[in-house]
Chain A
Amino acid sequence: MIQIGQVTAVVGVEITIRANDCSNLETHFYLGKSFKGVSIREFIAIDHGFREIICIVEGEFLDERITEGDGPNLQFVRKLKARPIGFFEDEKFHDGIKFLPKIGDSAKLLPEQQVERIFERGSAGGYVIGRLMKEDIAISLPWQRIFNSHLGIFGNTGSGKSNTLTKLYTVLFDNKLDGIGASSKFIFLDFNGEYTGAQLVGADQKKVLRLKTRTDDGDRFALKEEHFWDAETLGILFQATSNTQKPFLRRVVTERKKYAANAYSLISYVQSIFRRVLTSESPSAEALELLKSLSRHLSLDAGLVDSVHKVGYHRNQTSFYYDDAGIRRFFGVDNQTYADHFEAAVGAINFQIPNGFRELQIRSELKLISDLLYGSVQYEHIQPLMRRIEALMGDFEKVISVLEDGEEAKTITVISLRECNQEIKKILPILIAKNYYELHKSLVSSPPETTMHLIIDEAHNILSQQSNREAESWKDYRLELFEEIIKEGRKFGVFMTLASQRPADISPTIVSQLHNYFIHRLVNDRDLALLENTIATLDSVSRSQIPSLPQGACVVTGTTFDIPMLMQIDKLPKDKEPDSSDVNLEELWG
């Protein structure tokens, strides 16, 4: 061991060490072993009987009043300020300040293997994603305790977040994919299409869904029928208000379930609605409008559609009339007009029952008409929902398919939202997260035998706390869902990994519930303040370095790690790195 000085003062937990000459070399050789020299954030050991107290150097001072020797190089007295972080006893590292050194105890440099042991507590080796930045020692992280926790990866754009995220999972899959087998599912929500190539695992071992709203040829997220026909799900998709629109959707769903057994029921329902609207004693103009749009949406006989469109509403007489080549024939109580023009056609209505969104549209139109006829609903409250269904349906149909049995999920699923419009980017992740979460929750036993990992890069896209565009209630719902996953998920074996460049935008509830953090360079004051307030395990030295970390370096801290460590994450090979590289202007403009 290289002795580098003696303890000269212990004030509280601040230890002053008087350093010997030559202790400021970058590397020391001792009997052929190399030791890192003393500098800030370096570790030193102080002998304390059978224990070695490990301290981290926090400062270096020169006492110019005292010089030593009178050779050509005047030797000044160098002093080190250090803070204990733990101790070694019988080759085992324990963290926490339990012992403090005494004046006169000698300070020594730590050989590399021992530095490694400070960080590698009980990990089984093999899971190496990077090296300690200063010591340049490869560190194996305890994967057993990383992947059963929620992870947060934060850092400014270009600081290496995506690389860290990808490296975390690439190394996991490289080592453990066979072992993972069917017991766990990994879902990557990929907003920018960064993981659709050979990243993470080979392209044949993962399922990539490229959702597209611009064209019709994209993949579709398969939703099981029973999950689609769920008031909550539909509420998310069409941002239904909880007071009126969601109960309406619930009625639609219940009604569908009620008559599910009878395949013909929908047809007879349509027939009865036609009859009832047109022969109603108190005709409703809105119902007529709905009937017209219904007849368009259903692939009905062209003659019938034509006839329905000839029906008008006479406001003064509060009655419908049939425009028969310029002659208005009113629908009377005797219903001669109906019998003449509709009875036969309506009786002959027959159509293929559509599914998915078309079915939803038709059913809600039917339901609304029927509710209007009974007077049990305010048309103005429900109508916006109908408009949204009409407007969004086209986009949703391009990205969601409703299947009777759903689809067997692969171990690794990447869902790329790169070619989706903003609206879909906002809504769909919530649907996906909810769908997987509910599905997993319903299957899992206690304690969980299977796990589900939801990985969200650019998480501020959907977890941001403020948004000017969306309704308050919708935002609450959106955050509540993720807050529930993060609060309750662990019990069901559901874990989230978030990566974001604006941690301050993400709900503090979510950030503070994360267990482990990989924090890259962050310069924004608000982000730093958030980290300070929410991450209990982050110490002041590490925190002060966050704004000046180089690319790819991050502070790793959290419940899994005894002490925060500064790590340089290995860069992935070109074909494995996420498609988020910087623009090479030299190549572009050269």
Chain B
Amino acid sequence: MINRNDIYDKNLNFLIGSGASVGLLPTLELKIRKSGSSSSHTLETLATQFESDKDIMCLIFSYYVENVIAPAAKFDISSLSNSQKDVLRNYIRFLEAILTLLNKKGGAPRANIFTTNYDGLIAHCAEHMIRSGKYDFILNDGSVGFVKKTLQARAFNRYTKDQGTFDRHEISVPQINLLQPHGSVYWYKDGENIEVSYDLKRSSARADNVPSWMDTDFETLLGDGSKDDSDINPIDFVVDEEVRDDFWRNYQALPVVNPTKWKFHETVFEEHYYQSLRALSYELERPNSVFIVFGFSFADEHILNLVKRSLSNPTLKVFVCCYSDGLKATLEEKFRGFDNVEFIRTDGALDFDTFNSEVFVASAPDVTGAS
């Protein structure tokens, strides 16, 4: 539904939210409902509601670490079920489509993927594709170095060319920049730098190191669709202060942006988040840019406001994929008054599979059977 002829020669940008990893990694969604409404809470809304209660917050974030961060940190590509592999396959199709577009783009074949996910699925899929030998491209995650890779924002402005031995020709290698404004489970604080390491043992050990503190009653409540937030009675849940402090100390070492509007105190990480967001706003303000959003509901206000600000660029075209009609209505409300945003809906749910087969297709349409 996004015409490949319209976008291939533009500055291509993508924003991938947690909707893409559904089926492989859990999302922030909870079963427990908001009191007085039929819609359910997410970790984010629940945390905002109990912001002042330290005990409950500790419980919520322990739940977050155990159920959301740990699965991402312990993600092992070699032990997956078939349905989980489908998610990876969709990531590969998505990257393939981008590469098809880049191959048609004259000049500098580059695209930017921004993702609020801190899982490493794009990195794993790109690795798999490059190793298969069928693809030649560079996934630039912003890290520089050999033994110890560290993040540098300027790395995103570096481009690779294949140059002939006799300097007679040079060919730009297609490049996909991967920017993670919400951090990654593969980032580690290293003095003033951020180290990137895709070592599975290291990331899972760190996730295990967080002394999360869980109350089974609380966990049951969160997973109960018949309860709402008024059923959480603060008196029932008390956490020992020492345990709580220990949790927060370790938690804050995790390089992920909290699912709340909390200000983050780790300046090293924060600077990098800020750099990624600045890159997003720069890219969107370049002339003739295209911005395709998938699996992201713009619940993060800082990203929403940033995109809105860049929408003053008249040559920017934004395609927002809406999972459901309800979400489309919400998003239309959020982007009211901006002509350059187009909302995309398909019959049925617009999941990653539909996105790759109907919305964002760069290969030639299948002609078998068509007249």
* Chain A contact residues, CB within 8 Å of chain B: 2, 22, 25-34, 72-73, 571, 573-574
Contacts and interface: CB of A to CB of B under 8 A. Distances in A.
Q: Kindly name the residue among A72, A573, A574 whose own CB sees the greatest number of chain B CB atoms within 10 A.
A: A72
Contacts of A27: 3, 5-7
Contact of A25 (B3, B9, B108, B316): B9
A78 to B, nearest CB: 14
Given A22-B287, A34-B6, A574-B371, A29 B317 contact: yes
B152 interface: no
Contacts of B9: 25-26
A27 B4 CA distance: 10
B339 A26 contact: no
Closest 9 CB pairs of A and B: A32-B339, A29-B317, A32-B340, A27-B6, A31-B339, A31-B314, A25-B9, A30-B314, A22-B288
Given A26-B9, A29-B340, A571 B371 contact: yes
A467 B322 CA distance: 68
Contacts of A29: 6, 10, 288, 290, 315-317, 340
Contacts of B288: 22, 25, 28-29
Interface string B306-341: 000000001111000000000000000000001111
Interface string B331-355: 0000000111110000000000000
Contacts of A30: 314-315
Contacts of B36: none
B369 interface: no
Interface string B1-41: 00101111110000000000000000000000000000000
A30 B338 CA distance: 11
B107 interface: yes
Contacts of B314: 30-31
Q: Kindly name the residue among A2, A27, A571 whose own CB sees the greatest number of chain B CB atoms within 10 A.
A: A27
5 contacts: A27-B5, A32-B317, A32-B339, A73-B107, A573-B371
B371 A31 contact: no
B265 to A, nearest CB: 40
A2 B315 CA distance: 9
A32 B341 contact: yes
Contacts of A32: 317, 338-342
Interface of B: 3, 5-10, 107-108, 287-288, 290, 314-317, 338-342, 371
B10 to A, nearest CB: 7
Contacts of A33: 339
B5 A72 contact: no
A574 B317 CA distance: 38
A525 B316 CA distance: 48
A83 to B, nearest CB: 26
Nearest to A25: B9
A573 B371 CA distance: 8
B108 A72 contact: yes
A459 B9 CA distance: 47
A193 to B, nearest CB: 22
B340 A26 contact: no
B341 A26 contact: no
A362 to B, nearest CB: 56
A31 B287 CA distance: 12
A584 to B, nearest CB: 12
A564 B8 CA distance: 31
Given A26-B6, A26-B8, A72-B108, 19 more contacts: A25-B288, A26-B5, A27-B3, A27-B7, A29-B10, A29-B290, A29-B316, A29-B317, A29-B340, A30-B315, A31-B339, A31-B340, A32-B340, A32-B342, A33-B339, A73-B108, A571-B371, A573-B371, A574-B371
B263 to A, nearest CB: 35
A34 B3 CA distance: 11
Nearest to A27: B6
Q: Kindly name the residue among B5, B108, B287, B314 whose own CB sees the greatest number of chain A CB atoms within 10 A.
A: B314
Contacts of B315: 2, 28-30
B293 to A, nearest CB: 15
B186 to A, nearest CB: 31
Contacts of A25: 9-10, 288
Q: Kindly name the residue among A2, A28, A34, A573 whose own CB sees the greatest number of chain B CB atoms within 10 A.
A: A28
B143 to A, nearest CB: 23
Q: Kindly name the residue among B9, B107, B341, B342 whose own CB sees the greatest number of chain A CB atoms within 10 A.
A: B9
Nearest to A34: B6
A574 B370 CA distance: 11
A28 B288 CA distance: 7
A5 to B, nearest CB: 15
A73 B6 CA distance: 21
A37 B371 CA distance: 30
A582 to B, nearest CB: 13
A108 to B, nearest CB: 13
A574 B9 CA distance: 36
Contacts of A72: 108
Nearest to A577: B371
A22 B10 CA distance: 10
Contacts of B342: 32
A568 to B, nearest CB: 15
A27 B339 CA distance: 17
Nearest to A31: B339
Contacts of A73: 107-108
A295 B69 CA distance: 112
Nearest to B316: A29
Nearest to B339: A32
A73 B108 CA distance: 9
